[in-house]
Structure 1
Amino acid sequence: MKILVATDFSAIADNAVEYAAALCRQFNAKLIIYNAFIVPVHAANTLLTAESFQEMLEKNQGKLKKCAETVSVNYGIQVAYEASYSFVEDELKNLLLKYEASLVVLGMSTKSLEQDLMGNTTTAVIKKMKFPVLAIPSGAKFTGMKKILFACDVLQGVPAKVLEQVRNLSSDLHSQIEVFFVDEKIEELRNSDSATLAIDIINDGLEGVTYSHKNVRSSAVIEEIGKEIIAFQAELLIMVPKKYGFWASLVHKSKTRMLASGLEIPLLSIPL
């Protein structure tokens, strides 16, 4: 197993690297640390020579190498590193293919949450890319994931491949899962054929792990998820991004700010 983490050497990114390293130690996985080199603003405003640019690039490469070596020693894991002068989303796709990584880890700023879902870069990666992304809020530390909250749109159906990933993660971490669904008409839909079929599919997909269901009638999706994180004492929130419906309600900025104020646990986005 290989895990890819992106860093810009900020405090938030450093925390994400530490979290990813702890995950790698847990899963006996290899870590790849990636940095998208950006020319500093003060340098960008001057006429850079090729020599000056190369010097900055090499200095950045040295910083990344030192980071990788330190993480490798501290966590007792294999660590590789990559740096490039390119767009983060483009290079992440290339590195995922190159290393056959199964997960991308990114830092998550609560201040950026108020502007968009999880910060500009993290948001763009989740919206555009078709691979699992683990967003780590500032200050979050990996101490295991004994309780996982899987917030999903039950009535829209959950693909078998997503359920398989959730089941495997729960099995590897010996975690308890709660499948959580929020809807305005939950009472009317609870006994419908479509709801019954959806629950049956989830039951089959999560067979072999400890899990439970909880449905809440409400139009306030964000608030209910935030409350359930606290009530269930979840250590990880899993969601499936969709273009419409359930996911669309999350990217509405006013609701997103509500989630930002209470989301202190990592968010794992599993694409369809």
Structure 2
Amino acid sequence: MSLPINIIAATNFSETANNAVNYAAGIAKSTGAKLILFNSFSLSVHSANSQITAEAMQKQIDKNTERLQNLGNDLSKLYNIEVSTCCSFSFVEDFLKEIIEKTNAELVVMGMAERSLEQDIMGNTTTSVIKNLKIPVLAVPINASYKTANKILYACDTLSLTSIKKFSWLRKIVGTLGGEIEFFSVEEKLNTLKEEQSETLIKSIANEELQEVKYVYKSVRSNTVINEIHKEIETYGADILVMVPQKYGFWDSLVHRSKTRIMAAGLSIPLLSYPAL
């Protein structure tokens, strides 16, 4: 019998973050996972400028820790799941990496920000975590409630055996996949479904682990990738969007804006981001 997986749910106690925590609890209940509630905080500018004492700092940590523990106890009773808590005064990404290493967590769940120009250009805590962590991150919009993902939209540049095999992991996290997965590619140049991609798809379907899932492949021609993904979410009726961020070098990063980062705000469905290979 395999050990239960660990899921980390990060919260700053905002409405958006706590909705993501409840979504993570829903996943934990349906998969038998352990839920780890995580809160990392920093001082306000006023507190930092006033040179807060060590005693006052400890009081703030104790206050957040108690609040997090109360939330964990409520979730444990409501969802009948195992919940632990972890609170720290530190930068979110740094402490998340420590917790992931200690717990061997396989998924981080965070709230999804509202769409804004600032978000598109600068990103936010969630998009920064997506960029820098080496495990999948699920960004959950404020109005999303946990349910079985019957239709999964995977927006990808190209179809490969590696990209398809990722969904054996998704089965473990989301539960039994009785629905279907659409591999959706937006081509800036006219391109038809390549024969080798067809063969890859057929081989993967033959894999016993993925046999019961229905696959669809769709490619469209457009130079407005983000708009096409938004349209396909509605057309397909997707329950969850999956993307893999591309890793750019320093000079490329000056002219590229991550499509995953832009998509990680203002969606009506959760976005699951796999770490780039």
Higher relative helix content: 1
Distance 1:241 1:159, change over 3 A: same
The residue that corresponds to 2:60 in the other structure is 56
The residue that corresponds to 1:180 in the other structure is 184
* 1:115-154 correspondence runs (5 A): 115-116=119-120, 119-154=123-158
Distance 1:129 1:67, change over 3 A: same
Q: CA deviation at 1:251?
A: 2.0
Q: CA deviation at 1:200?
A: 4.8
Describe the superposition over 1:63-112 as per-residue Cα deviations: whole angstroms up to 9, x where unpaired. Answer: 11111111111111110000111111111111112112110001111145
Q: CA deviation at 1:234?
A: 0.5
CA contact (8 A) 1:117 1:123 kept: no
- What CA distance in whole angstroms lies between the structure 1 residues aligned with 2:256 and 2:211? 30
Distance 1:107 1:48, change over 3 A: same
Amino acid in structure 2 at the alignment position of 1:251: S
Distance 1:117 1:25, change over 3 A: farther
Distance 1:102 1:170, change over 3 A: closer
Q: CA deviation at 1:199?
A: 4.2
The residue that corresponds to 2:262 in the other structure is 256
Verify: 1:106 aligned to 2:106, yes or no. Answer: no
The residue that corresponds to 1:69 in the other structure is 73
CA RMSD of aligned residues (A): 3.0
The residue that corresponds to 1:85 in the other structure is 89
Q: CA deviation at 1:184?
A: 2.7
- TM-score if structure 1 supplies the norm length? 0.86
CA contact (8 A) 1:33 1:80 kept: yes
Other structure's SS at 2:8 match:
strand
In structure 2, runs of 5+ residues without a counterpart are none
Other structure's SS at 2:217 match:
strand
Distance 1:159 1:226, change over 3 A: closer
- What CA distance in whole angstroms lies between the structure 2 residues aligned with 1:56 and 1:100? 28
Other structure's SS at 1:5 match:
strand
CA contact (8 A) 2:243 2:274 kept: yes
Other structure's SS at 1:211 match:
strand
In structure 1, runs of 5+ residues without a counterpart are none
- TM-score if structure 2 supplies the norm length? 0.84
